[in-house]
Structure 1
């Protein structure tokens, strides 16, 4: 399994009673007469063409998770007929069918982790709903399988399609990489980072009660063109511009100047033969660090971040768990940015010559993070903010979306200005009672008269033995066990107070 697959398997098995947020649902609306059995055969042929879509995910007796590929399996198939209903009732029932489908979990050990649902809307209009677990697909893979599925329905065979890539070649390449060298590179890149950037500190974000809500905003063509123009003139990518804007949004929420968040990276090694036609999971999530210097011009911030990103490109394969263990700060972030860089639905064929036409594609692809940004480039840059309604309310999600849009509109005209133009000049958050107690305990253990809420205990002289003593003092005050790992994970009185009290 890839590093990301191991993380996804953890989430799939974390709490089998709740939602699995990593169900991916693609809804295709087609016009024309659909031959249902022919489409069902195309679904089965898709699983035959791409073995990784047949994968089951199990653990060996040693506990090692692996994926097992059966020689044959058929696509589960469901049909709903909503034709003849009045428009409002039909829309309500369609929404209920789609919601129930997204909520129905897959058993990772019971392949295939895919299913197809056909919803008849009238004689010449239907929805084809493909639902699959993220363990099988990433964005690029989803585009490939949609292209192949429509072609298999059209022609009945894979004739005319490119030869599929051999996914095990990628897994072998991944196993051959130098993890120690990658750990060193990430340790250097994150050196001096004092604390994680958490929008929901002290929260169990792995347990999902409700699916994330989405807010979509789009920049105008003129504003998008302005961003593209400065990206060309300064040798940076649109992705870098979006990352800087996201870091400034996180700064407004946390007050931090050294920001970390996750980024989904493609993982497709360009030098691997046939990688563009491989179906499977390649993506990985890695940290992005953005250091905000109030005196640094915005243009220099962009160029510096672009260079720092380029230096780490060859180490994007390292598992996030390895990076976080190497840095030693625990969870580094709880927000994520996804920048789409794969073929989109606009490039899909419109259907067979017998008149079946693809008229719309709607996708749902959620993450467990409390806050996620997905950016989709095009004539108008589209920004989708996903937020967990069990952790954020709707007004806060809208504030983030509005602020992000404002920043991306303002940045092209502010390149010569210092970054401080976009930073909050507000006092530090007030120290709460639990945090004040931590200040006093840290000062006592370290033999100091005073410790502020945001000072790093290890920079003040704490070591492993004093960390053990500090954990014991906190344990005594709280009247419950406190692991010494907590001191290493939350290194300030404010972070310890928030997490433990």
Structure 2
């Protein structure tokens, strides 16, 4: 996870890093390293003291693109974070050429945090800078989750569940033929769009009427996009689970990696749309009981032989606060600090994130070239429109009939590309033309 900020002067940057160090000192997961050499199984080790690693560099750029140069220097595709040294955070700092500002780039390894972790970290850093460190609640230790994941559902129960879902799947599900699931995030295009308010309202109304989550509707719609783009009716894709629902008191404020990616299998066949929505909802509910199972275990329960991947597409349904949507230029409460943006990438070639803002829905697609991320968003929006329409008017319509092609793309493929009319001497015979 990459994020970049700019500070009006060096003293302010130092105060910020000092505040981050205080937050690291508070939380066990931020002082955690991973060791495995010579051990029967890998272990997480919490350090008592974990000083930040800050690298200062000098930038050459004189054209105002200092932030871009700093990003290139610490590009995670080349700059790796060693797992054996805590904290799994790295900072690059530099004076911006031609100005007194200081630039900071932060790399955070996904092993120690997720979206909620970032939000809580930023909030605590602001509290420390605002002189309110003494008001912060006692930190929630990450070891609570480790204990829960290891002592909760046993591996045998996980295995039975995933075998019942995946045993008859013997081919990978690879939309658009994209099968490289060990990518480094390079060559990935990103597109974002907000769904029309009317569509958002219709989908929420149908979810309420059927007594299911809006996430279930979105999973079914994404399943149809995956089915059509992979030429399969039985599809498997990864779904990102929040991991904090059953993690005990205070889990909403705990730092650490709670999310998990697990396979979900959907059959986009002759079943009616309403029945398919209910089945999808039931399957996701069952999956929650196994939310801390290992993805490797789940994949072994399918009929797909290693090293072939079981799936190459992800769906990340995430609940965002409206504030996160505004994307304000300054980092709240820190005057003289400018937020320059961030980047999140995964190793998968196709990821669709659905951002649920409570009263609005947004889509973010990340896909390797040459597949267009904007077209993927278009397919998802079109299926959701079709799904809302079918649930309102024809709930027994087979789910496989939901179309993914927006009208403009259908016209382009069937008509524009087939415009073969050309002027030729029509009074002559074919052999004469040759």
Counterpart of 1:388 in structure 2 is 368
CA distance in 2, matches of 1:409, 1:248: 13
Distance in 2 (alpha carbons) for counterparts of 1:343 and 1:361: 20
Whole-Å separation in 2 of the counterparts to 1:238 and 1:126: 43
Q: TM-score, normalised by structure 1?
A: 0.70
Deviation, structure 1 residue 227: 2.0
Verify the 8 A CA contact 2:237 2:314 in the aligned structure 1: yes
* Pairs within 5 Å for 1:241-390: 241-270=217-246, 272-294=248-270, 296-330=271-305, 331-341=309-319, 346=324, 351-352=332-333, 356=335, 360=339, 362-378=341-357, 379-389=359-369
Matches within 5 A, 1:6-25: 24-25=1-2
Q: How far did 1:394 drift?
A: 4.3
Q: Secondary structure at 1:144's aligned position in 2?
A: helix
Task: Say whether 1:52 aligns with 2:29.
Answer: yes
CA-to-partner distance for each residue in 1:61-103, whole Å, 9 max, x for gaps?
1352222222112222355798x96xxx32x332232233233
How far apart are residue 401 of structure 1 and its match?
A: 2.4
Residue 338 (structure 1) shift: 1.0
Check the 8 A contact 1:198/1:335 in 2, yes or no. yes
In 1, the alpha carbon distance for the partners of 2:186 and 2:287 equals 35
Deviates more, 1:284-293 or 1:412-421: 412-421
Equivalent residue, structure 1, for 2:382:
406
Asked if structure 2 preserves the Cα contact closer than 8 Å seen for 1:102 and 1:131, the reply is no
Contact 2:236 2:264 in 1 (8 A): yes
**2:29, 2:141 within 8 Å by CA — same for their partners in 1?**
no
2:401 paired residue among 404, 421, 427: 421
Equivalent residues in 2 for 1:469-484, closer than 5 Å: none
The alignment status of 1:94 with 2:76, answered yes or no, reads: no
Q: How does 1:444-463 map to 2 (within 5 A)?
A: none
The runs of 5 or more residues in structure 2 that have no matched partner are 406-434
Equivalent residue, structure 2, for 1:133: 109
Matched, 1:176 2:151: yes
What's the CA shift string for 1:307-355, capped at 9, x where partnerless? 1211221112211111122233233211111111366763999644xx6
**3-state DSSP class of the match of 2:112?**
coil
Question: Once the 2 structures are TM-superposed, how far is the Cα of residue 291 of structure 1 from its aligned partner?
Answer: 0.7
Distance 1:46 1:302, change over 3 A: same
Give the whole-Å Cα distance in 1 for the aligned partners of 2:95 and 2:200. 38
**RMSD over aligned Cα, in angstroms?**
3.2
Taking a change above 3 Å as real, the CA distance of residues 423 and 190 of structure 1, as seen in their structure-2 partners, is: farther
User: 1:412, 1:209 → 2: CA distance?
Assistant: 33
Deviation track 1:409-430 (CA, whole Å, cap 9, x = no partner) reads 33211212332332589xxxxx
Preserved contact between residue 353 and residue 364 of structure 2 (Cα < 8 Å): yes
Distance 2:187 2:80 in 1: 13
Contact 2:2 2:342 (C-alpha < 8 Å) held by counterparts: yes
Give the unaligned 5+ runs of structure 1. 1-23, 426-501
Deviation at 1:383, TM superposition (A): 1.1
CA distance in 2, matches of 1:75, 1:418: 56
Task: Give the 3 Å change call, closer, same or farther, for CA 148–201 of structure 1 in structure 2.
Answer: same
Q: How many angstroms does 1:281 deviate by?
A: 1.2
Query: 1:372–1:215: structure 2 CA closer, same or farther, 3 Å change rule?
Result: same
Structure 2 CA distance for aligned equivalents of residues 387 and 229 of structure 1: 31
CA contact (8 A) 1:30 1:126 kept: yes
How many residues align structurally? 390
Give the Å deviation of 1:42. 0.7
CA distance in 2, matches of 1:321, 1:344: 35
Kept in 1: contact 2:183–2:349 (CA 8 A): no
Residues 432-476 of structure 1: CA distance to partner in whole angstroms, max 9, x if unpaired?
Answer: xxxxxxxxxxxxxxxxxxxxxxxxxxxxxxxxxxxxxxxxxxxxx
Q: Is the partner of 2:38 in helix, strand or coil?
A: coil
Name the counterpart of 1:446: none
